Amino acid sequence: MAGRLAIIGGDAAGMSAASQARRRDPDLDVVAFERGPYTSYSACGIPYFLGGHFEDSERLIVRSPEQHSERGIDVRVHQEVLAIDLAARELTVRDHQARTESTEPFDQLVVATGAVAVGPRVPGADHLEPARTVDAAERFDEQLDRGGEKAVVIGAGYIGIEMAEALKKRGFEVTMVDIADHVMGIAFDADMAKHVQDGAEEEGIDVRLNCAVEGIDLDDDGRPVAVRTAGGVLEADHVVLATGVKPATQIAQEAGLEVGEFGGLLTDDHQRCTGHDGVFAAGDCVESWHRLLERPVNVQLGTHANKQGRIAGINATGGDAAFPGVLGTAVSRICSREVARTGLTEDEVARFTDLDVIAVVQKSLTRAGYYPGAGPIWVKLVAERSTGRLLGGQIVGVEGAAKRVDVLATAIWAGMTVQELELLDLGYAPPVAPVYDPLLVAASAAVRELS
C-alpha cells in the first residue's frame, strides 16, 4: 500500500507502530515527529540512572533516531506537531531547531503523544521541570551534581518512591510528602502500602503522609530553597515533582478526537480512534479496556505502549490485530522491596464496582526457611465472595513479588478461582520458594475465608 503514515511521538508506542508498519509494508512512507532529541527511550529507567545504577544516560535509549532512519523510518527529532487537520489530512509541525513551521500531509495517522506531568497547583511548582524524558533527566542529573544536602519528593507513588530512593542513593537527605494517608496512591490498599512505606523508612527516607504542599520557595535563579507544607517548612536543595501524570491529548482533542472519563483518547480494540478512519492512537495518551472493570481506563506503562503501538502499526498496514485489554498489572523494585499488583484492590472494588468480595493478607517467606536469603513476603488476594473468582492481588516482599504477581495476572486473565489457585502445580525448590508457595498460602487463606 503506497501512501504516508505519520506518527506523532517518538517513544515506545509511536516507534513500535512505525517499526511494525515499516516491516509490513516496504512501500509505505513512514514519518515520525518527536519534539525532543531522543526516540524509543525507557522513561521507567530514569530513576535508576539518577540513582547511579549506571552512568550513561544513553543506555536508556533502546533505538536512536539514526537507527530508526537506517531501517527506513523518517524520524524528525526536535519537531513538534502543533495541530492536526483530520479533514485535510495535514499536520502543522514546528521545527524547534530550524525555528520554522511547515505543513506535513498524511494518509494515516498514529497519535502517540504520551502523558504530561500534573504538578501540584501551588506557587513555585511551575518553575520545576519533571524528569520525565531523557534530556530532562540529564538536566536534573547535572543539577544534582552541583551539590546540596536536602531533597524533597512531592508524591509517594511508584515514581515518587523510586526517585526518593535514587536521591538517597546519591547521598541526599530525603523527605517524601504526600497528601494521601498511605503511600502508593490508589495502586495499593493501605494495609499493603504500609509494607512499602516500611521499606522506604528502613532506607532512611522521611515519609510524611496526610501532608499538603502549599508552595515551593525559589531563590533568585529559580532554584528551589524550601517546600512549604501544612506540616511546616522543609528545606530543599532539590525538589522532585511526582504527583502523577495525565494523557497528553490537547492537539488530538482540538482536532476533534474523543477522550474518555479518565482523559485518554478513546479507541476500539484495534487502536482506531472512534469514528475516524485511518487514525490510530496508542500508549500513555489512550484509554485501555480494563478486563475486570469492563470499561476503558488510563494506564501509563511502557508494556502497553509497546503492544498497542505494534497493534496500531499492524492495523494501519492492512492487518488485523486486537489489544485484549489490561488488568492493571504493575511492579517495581523499591527500597529493598519488590512491590507488585494486578487486578483490583479492595479500594478499587469499592469505588468502581458493586461486587461483594473477600480479602486476605498472608505473610510468608520467599524461600525455604533454612535457605540463605529467605525473607518476608506479604500477599493480599481479593476474590468474589459468591464464586471465589480471583479479582486482584497485591504483593510486597524482599524478592519474588513481581513474577509471582504475573501468576495472579494469568489466573485472573483466565477467570480462575482461589479454589483452583490453591492446588495449582507451581514450582518448588528451596532456593526459590517454600514448599507451599506464598501464593498457595494466600489462596488457602482465601478459601477458608470463603467457607
- Distance of closest approach, residue 263 Cβ to a second copy, in angstroms: 21
Closest CB to a second copy among 29 and 338?
Answer: 338
Is 10 one of the binding residues for a second copy (CB under 8 A)?
A: no
Sequence-distant (6+) residues with CB within 8 A of 30 are 4, 5, 7, 18, 21, 22, 72, 73, 74
Question: Minimum Å distance from CB 338 to a second copy?
Answer: 7
Residues 388-427 binding a second copy (CB under 8 A) are 400, 402-407, 409-411, 413-416, 420, 423-427
Using the structure block, give the residue that is written with the C-alpha cell 504526600. Answer: 178
Task: Examine residue 327 and tell whether it contacts a second copy (CB under 8 A).
Answer: yes
Least distance CB 444 / a second copy (angstroms):
9
> Which SS3 state, helix, strand or coil, does residue 198 take?
helix
Determine the 3-state secondary structure of 401 from DSSP: helix
| Rounded Cα distance, 16 and 310, in Å | 5
Smallest distance from the beta carbon of 189 to a second copy, in angstroms? 18
Residues 6+ apart with CB under 8 A from 98: none
The pattern of x and - marking residues 90 through 109 that bind a second copy according to CB under 8 A reads --------------------
Q: Which of 74/135 has CB closer to a second copy?
A: 135
Q: Least CB distance from residue 282 to a second copy, whole Å? A: 14
Cα–Cα distance between 343 and 409 in angstroms, integer? 7
Active site residue 44: yes
The CA distances from residue 410 to 135, 301, 414, in Å, are: 36, 18, 6
Q: Which is nearer to a second copy, 44 or 86 (CB)?
A: 44
Identified binder of a second copy from the candidate list 338, 346, 348, 384, rule CB under 8 A: 338
Residue with Cβ nearer a second copy (218 or 450): 450
Query: Of 75-83, 182-190, 356-364, 432-440, which segment contacts a second copy by CB under 8 A?
Result: 432-440
- Report the helix count and the strand count for the chain, using DSSP H and E: 12, 24
Distance (Å) of CA 218 to CA 20, 221, 226, 229, 237 = 46, 8, 7, 15, 10
Strand partners, 74: 31
Where does 257-299 show beta strands of DSSP type E? 279-281, 288-290, 295-297
Q: Is 318 in the site for a second copy (CB under 8 A)?
A: no
CB of 16 to a second copy, least distance (A): 10
- Where is 252: in which H helix or E strand? helix 250-254
User: Nearest distance from residue 306's CB to a second copy, in Å?
Assistant: 6
CA distances from 104 to 2, 4, 80, 151 (A): 16, 10, 12, 44
Whole-angstrom distance, CA of residue 41 vs CA of residue 254: 27
**Active-site residue, selected from the candidate residues 44, 273, 285, 335:** 44
The contact pattern for a second copy, residues 22-61, with x = CB under 8 A and - = no contact, is --------------------x-xx--xx---xx----xx-
When the beta carbons of 239 and 285 are compared against a second copy, the nearer one is: 285
209 binds a second copy (CB under 8 A): no
Among 26, 220, 369, 451, binds a second copy (CB under 8 A): 369
Count of CB atoms within 10 A of residue 398's CB? Answer: 17
Min. distance of Cβ 120 from a second copy in angstroms?
Answer: 25
| Separation CA 8–CA 73 (nearest Å) | 13
In the complex with a second copy, which residue's Cβ is closer, 12 or 381?
A: 12
3-state helix, strand and coil shares in percent for the chain, rounded to the nearest 5: 30, 30, 40
Angle between helices 12-24 and 302-316 (to 10 degrees): 30
Binders in 258-317 for a second copy, by CB under 8 A: 291, 301-304, 306-307
The smaller minimum CB distance to a second copy, of residues 195 and 310, is found at: 310
Q: Which of 294, 320, 356, 372 binds a second copy (CB under 8 A)?
A: 372
Residues contributing to the site for a second copy (CB under 8 A): 12, 42, 44-45, 48-49, 53-54, 59-60, 291, 301-304, 306-307, 323-333, 338, 340, 342, 368-372, 400, 402-407, 409-411, 413-416, 420, 423-433, 435-437, 439
The residues annotated with a catalytic role in the active site are 44
